[in-house]
Amino acid sequence: MIKTNQKFFSSFLAIALLALMPLGLIAQQPRRTNATTTAPAVQTKGASQTEIPAHPRELKFADLSYTPPERDKYRHVLSNGAVAYLVEDHDLPLVNVTTLIRTGRYLEPSSKEGVAALSGGQIRAGGTTSKTAEQFDEAADFLAANISSGIGDTQGNANLNCLSKDIDQGLALYFDMLKNPRFQPDRLALAKSQILQQMERRNDDTTTIESREWNRLMRGTDHFSTKQTTKASIEAVTRDDLVAFHKQYYQPGAFVFAVSGDFNTKEMLAKLETSMRAWEASKATISEVPKPSFAPVAGVYTVHKADVNQGRVIVGHTGTTRDNPDSYALSIMNDILGGGGFTSRLMSRIRSDEGLAYSAGSDYGLGVYYPSDFRASFQSKSATTPQAVGIIMEEIARIRTTKVSDEELTTAKNSAIEIFPRFFATAAQIAGTFAQDEYTRRPVDYWSTYRDRIKSVTAEDVQRVAQKYLQPDKLVILVVGNIDDITKSNPDNAQHSLAKIAGSNQIRRIPLPDPLTMIYPQVP
Amino acid sequence: MKKISFCFLALLVCAAQAAAQKVPVQEMVLDNGMKVLMVPRKGDPNIAVGWVARVGSVNERPGITGLSHLFEHMMFKGTHAIGTKDINANLQLIKEMDQTRAAIRAEEQTLIRRARLGEIPGSKDPQVRTARHRELIAKFDELTKREKETLVKDEFDRIYTTAGASGMNAGTGNDFTVYFINVPANKLELWFWMESDRLLKPVFREFYSERDVVHEERRLRTDSTPTGKFDEQFESMFWQSSPYGWPVVGWPSDLEGITREEALDYFAVNYAPNNLTACLVGDFEPARATELARKYFGRLPRGPRDPEPVRTQEMPQQAEKRMVAYAETSPQVRVRYHTVADGHRDEFALGILSDILNGRTGRLYKSLVLEKGLANAASAGQDGRKYEGYFELQGTAKPGHTPEEVEQALYKEIEKLQKETVGEQELQKVKNQNAAGDFRRLQSNFALMVQLLLRDSNRGWETINTDPARVQAVTAADLQRVANTYFKPENRTAGIYYTKKIAATEEDPLLAGLDEEEKSQIRQMRGMLGQAKIEQVKAVLTQVTQQGASAPAEKQDFIKVLKKLLEDRLAQLEGRKK
């Protein structure tokens, strides 16, 4: 609701953007890399005299050869076993340190849901054994150092960004936080109060409802990824739980570091070693991320929310994992279907042909630890929601039955190949990408073979994977919105209806749960 | 490998002297008035490129609110060369579509008038349309189909995507409209070709379906979010005469009425090169870019006249304004004061004031959240726009406390700023943060490109190099002075958001009027009825009817609901239609 004081970004964030922001548009940091590039040849000869061609296809472009950075050039193994990726970049007097910690929400004991997120947050917010939370915050703020910590589904993170001249003081604070969190009780009480207040608002926003119910429809209620915190589970978490969680999982020998910016590699390695010296830590084995055992049930599901005028819809089913050899063809297939922005079929038909939605698209999830899901989604006014669902069904059928055009295939493949250098656009991205690969154990040849694998995808491959991995009989359709209005027939377009889409199956209604207990009332 | 050379001045964070950096921008102005800013930086083979039109919703007037934003959408629809197989046939159809639309508009005007007089309930219901109106709509749909046959769909986007460009997008604000993309280093000429072509010969295809898309955008951002509608009202209430009072996305009635002719008039003045600045940051040779800029942007004709600054100024506020909303959100309060526009000498002090209040060690968090335990979150910010500005404080009440208590606590903090001087250490802390922020802002080519464009759209790109010193020059006396100048009760607008009670009534109108215990009994009963047989339901119903008659008056509502539940279930079991 309120604007930040960073003037330009405040107005920038407030602007109404034209389309779905491509991932990380604002966050991306395109800048120098240490990768080898060959700059395009400068063609100055009479360029301003030459005619402007009638169409850009007549423009000639110099070749651009690009070799991705080599992982091993930046990889270092520390004496305690931790792995660090260090990428120097001296353009600005800043240093960025990220630590990946092998932990996650998946390790929470049952009935203590929330302990992972609370631990992650309180490591930063709750002070250290030698500094109260107030003293720690003042020290970090006076240094103008940004220090953060958090624990997500399958990973813990901690970050330091400070001026390079302050790196020693910055690292001292940062490692003090990682190693000796104080977990100050008043800060924990405050965090719990904030979480409980947010919890009450669980049924307010259709976006929140949509993603929660979708995850439940895909992976049931037993998988860690769909477990919900409740008032009882948050209240059950004690300071001792946080101490235990930290002790068990913050094992420096299992850390993966990504360090980039204005430093000397040799010196930085020594600083990391010193920072972790004499850190007695647990060596307990950390279990693997569990896979869901739930089979989604196809059909139409609705959640009623009275005072919104748009239906939010996801259509989809279980997807696959990223180590699937078909993943490259799947990415191209999805790009053509709905992943490729304006040029994709769903965007073109739902948005630009019919004006039914501001954004429409699809994503073929390639999970790291377990199959993610395929989902096509949009938001449209109540009256036209069923019509747009119909278009998604048609397009899923079409990409299975008909080969994609050469033009579509070329667009999708070229884009994937040409955009490739952007993965390593900055020193922070190089270090971050390799650290993430290390953490998730991605095959080392992934980046060096990526473009060739994309190049080899054919129209036949696209159709084959569409037939194999898009399953019309397994589609789950979730509609969140004013269901009374959405099920009313559209006076301007009566042939579309939810009932028709459901066919002989009944439309199942999902009630809104009690936000504090997550108990769902019975549907009459 | 050449590298950018920032000039680092004295970087002494703990002393009063602070860091400053100079972004080495190469500026050129074309004969037609268009400005081009270049910042070559070697790195990955890519260039962040964009341009800004110095026009936004503040330049609109009643009747065409939302046009700047709608226009931004239309700029992706192609040109004479891009987006069509047959430009002449396409233009002819567009002409016919406009004529048909004009006739439809006349019909709509009649309906709007009839609705205004109460003759029909609303103008939107298809039932109230005349036969001629329906014919015109059918004709228009037919023309739309024929137009589609002349199109090459989304060719503008496809050309960029195929070339490996990424992040193509645009944004409209109150004061600016900006268009941007990242292109591979060898595709620089493509960018010049595409952008100059859409500025020279745009074709606003699919104008009317794109208007529908903007309606959906409005529904998505404003209508269907928990506080969107109330935030919009707050904004309109805050501004009395300034055009900042209408939303960037526009009022729905204007969106429906805007015509292509109005869009074209708007384009001629506001998208002329003398109202534009372009910017390139990344891996390119300035000499080559200069040459391409002259060749491509140089062909744009200067506009018919220079756009005029906005004439209507905000009237000084005379009395406090207040909004009380019931929304599906946590109880919260926002308080806003009229202050100064972007770049005013007091703006830097107001910015520092917000830093003093914000963050983990800021005064709001320390006082309202930690010490008093009144709020779970609180923040403040100065927003200086091109013509006016404001300072806003916000707080979310902790359960057990009211937005009004939080509001009073915010006023206490303001009073403190007015009466006491901010300490040296506290001021230095936020100056250090600003100094570090000056570097962090430059980490991304893309972010730098956007900052230079937005700055140039307001006060000139040079301010990226001159503002940091003005921030560092702010004194504790300045802070106290601005706090006393602007934070006056008659100059403020407060918005109170209470949590709207929805609970079970939204799910089930049957339960309205019952107390919590009764509701839970009804829910239980409903659960049990799911498995009950006809005979059981009948028996319970008889029992309830008999005993209900002798129940106390305050229980009669409960009995009524219970009976209704049983009767409905019985009807269902007996297969009767309700």
Answer yes or no: do B282 and A30 touch at CB < 8 A. yes
Do B129 and B206 belong together in one domain?
no
Residue A254 shares a structural domain with residue A318: no
pLDDT, tens only, B95-132:
999 999 999 999 999 999 999 999 999 898 888 999 99
Q: Are residues A75 and A198 in the same domain?
A: yes
Please check whether residues B293 and B205 belong to one and the same domain.
Answer: yes
Interface contact A309, partner B, CB < 8 A: yes
Is residue B312 domain-resident? no
Q: Domain of A340? A: 299-425+440-509
Phi (first) and psi of residue B433, to 5 degrees: -65, -40
- Residues B435, B336, single domain; the answer is yes
Query: Is residue A66 in some structural domain?
Result: no
Q: What percent of chain B has pLDDT over 90?
A: 74
| Long-range own/partner contacts, residues B408-416 (CB < 8 A, 24 or more apart) | B409/B367, B409/B368, B409/B372, B409/B374, B409/B375, B410/B333, B410/B335, B410/B364, B410/B368, B410/B378, B411/B335, B412/B367, B413/B357, B413/B363, B413/B364, B413/B367, B413/B368, B414/B483, B414/B487, B416/B363
Please state, as a whole number, how many other Cβ atoms lie within 10 Å of the Cβ of residue A287: 8
Cβ contact A194–B377 (<8 Å): yes
Residue B39, Cβ neighbours under 10 Å: how many? 23
pLDDT of res. B543: 82
Give the percent of chain B with pLDDT over 70. Answer: 91
In a shared domain, residues B267 and B180: yes
pLDDT tens sequence across B168-211: 999 999 999 999 999 999 999 999 999 999 999 999 998 888 88
Q: How many CB atoms lie within 10 A of CB A4?
A: 15
Q: What residues pair up with A360 in beta bridges, in sequence order?
A: A378
Which whole number is the average pLDDT over B275-301?
Answer: 97
Q: A239 with A307, same domain?
A: no
Whether residue A84 lies inside any domain: the answer is yes
**Which amino acid, residue A337?**
L
Chain B residues with CB-CB distance to A351 below 8 A: 213
Q: Is B217 inside any structural domain?
A: yes
**Sheet (strand B26-29) strand order:** A16-17, B166-172, B177-184, B46-53, B276-282, B35-40, B26-29
Smallest Cβ–Cβ distance between A47 and the set B76, B291, B440 belongs to: B291
Residue B117: Cβ within 10 Å count = 8
Our measurement of the distance from residue B540's CA atom to the centroid of its chain's CA atoms, rounded to an integer in Å, reads 56
Pair A258, A338 in one domain: no
Domain end point (choices A243, A276, A309): A276
B66 within a domain of the structure (yes/no):
yes
Q: Which of A241, A276, A311 lies at the terminal end of a domain, its last residue?
A: A276
Residue A152 lies in a domain: yes
Choose the final residue of a domain: B122, B151, B180.
B151
The answer to the question of residue B9 being in a domain is no
Domain range for B554 is 504-573
Amino acid at B362: G
Distance in Å, alpha carbon of B326 to nearest chain A alpha carbon: 13
Residues B164 and B267 in one domain: yes
B342 touches chain A (CB under 8 A): yes
Q: Which of A309, A348, A417 sits opposite B223 (nearest CB)?
A: A309
Interchain CB contact of A284 with B (< 8 Å):
no
On whether both A318 and A209 belong to a single domain, the answer is no
Do B66 and B200 belong together in one domain?
A: yes
Residues B76 and B91 in one domain: no
pLDDT-based confidence at residue B458 (cuts at 50, 70, 90): very high
Q: Which two tokens stand for residue A375?
A: 């989902």
Domain end call among A276, A291, A316: A276
Lowest-confidence segment of A429-433, B64-68, B212-216, B408-412 by average pLDDT: B212-216
Are residues B192 and B55 part of one domain?
A: yes
CB of A362 within 8 Å of a chain B CB? The answer is no
Please report whether residue A10 resides in a domain: no
pLDDT confidence band for B548 (50 / 70 / 90): confident
Residues A473 and A405 both lie in one domain: yes
Q: Are residues B135 and B125 in the same domain?
A: yes
How many domains is chain A partitioned into structurally? 2
pLDDT in tens, chain A (524 residues): 333 333 333 333 333 333 333 322 223 333 333 343 344 444 444 444 578 999 999 999 998 889 999 999 999 999 999 999 999 999 999 999 999 999 999 999 988 999 999 999 999 999 999 999 999 999 999 999 999 999 999 999 999 999 999 999 999 999 999 999 999 999 999 999 999 999 999 999 999 999 999 999 999 999 999 999 999 999 999 999 999 999 999 999 999 999 999 999 999 999 999 999 989 888 889 999 999 999 999 999 999 998 899 999 999 999 999 999 999 999 999 999 999 888 899 999 999 888 899 999 999 999 999 999 999 999 999 999 999 999 999 999 999 999 999 999 999 999 999 899 999 999 999 999 999 999 999 999 999 999 999 999 999 999 999 999 999 999 999 999 999 999 886 766 778 888 888 888 889 999 999 999 999 998 76
Q: Is residue B42 part of a domain?
A: yes
Measured in angstroms, the CA of B435 and the nearest CA of chain A are apart by 8
Q: Which residues of B touch A356 (CB under 8 A)?
A: 212, 216
DSSP letters for B311-362: -PPPPPP-S-EEEEEEESS--EEEEEEE---TT-HHHHHHHHHHHHHSSTTS
Q: Residue A519: inside a domain, yes or no?
A: no
The answer to whether residues B61 and B209 belong to one domain is yes
- Based on the fold, state whether residues B222 and B280 are members of the same structural domain: yes
Asked if B153 reaches chain A (Cβ–Cβ under 8 Å), the answer is yes
According to DSSP, residue A47 is labeled: T
Q: Looking at the 3D structure of chain B, how many domains does it have?
A: 4
* Shared domain check, A265 and A325: no
Quickly state the pLDDT bin for B90 (edges 50, 70, 90).
very high
Specify if A45 maps to a domain. no
Residue B203 in domain: yes
Is the CB of residue B13 less than 8 Å away from at least one CB of chain A? Answer: yes
**pLDDT of res. B15:** 33
Residue B305, in any domain of the structure: no
Q: Are residues A137 and A214 in the same domain?
A: yes
Can you tell me the ipTM of this complex? 0.85
Range in A332-346, A439-453, B7-21, B455-469 with the lowest mean pLDDT: B7-21
Q: Which of B71-75, B316-320, B547-551 has the lowest mean pLDDT?
A: B547-551
From chain B, the residues in CB contact with A2 under 8 A are 334, 379-381, 392-394
Domain limit, last residue, from B499, B527, B544: B499
Q: Do A268 and A303 belong together in one domain? A: no
Residue A65 forms part of a structural domain = no
- Whether residue A23 lies within 8 A of chain B, CB to CB, comes out as no
CATH of the domain at A77: 3.30.830.10
Nearest chain A residue to B137, by CA: A492
Domain membership of residue A44 (yes or no) is no
In whole angstroms, how far apart are CA A290 and each of A104, A154, A367?
A: 12, 10, 12
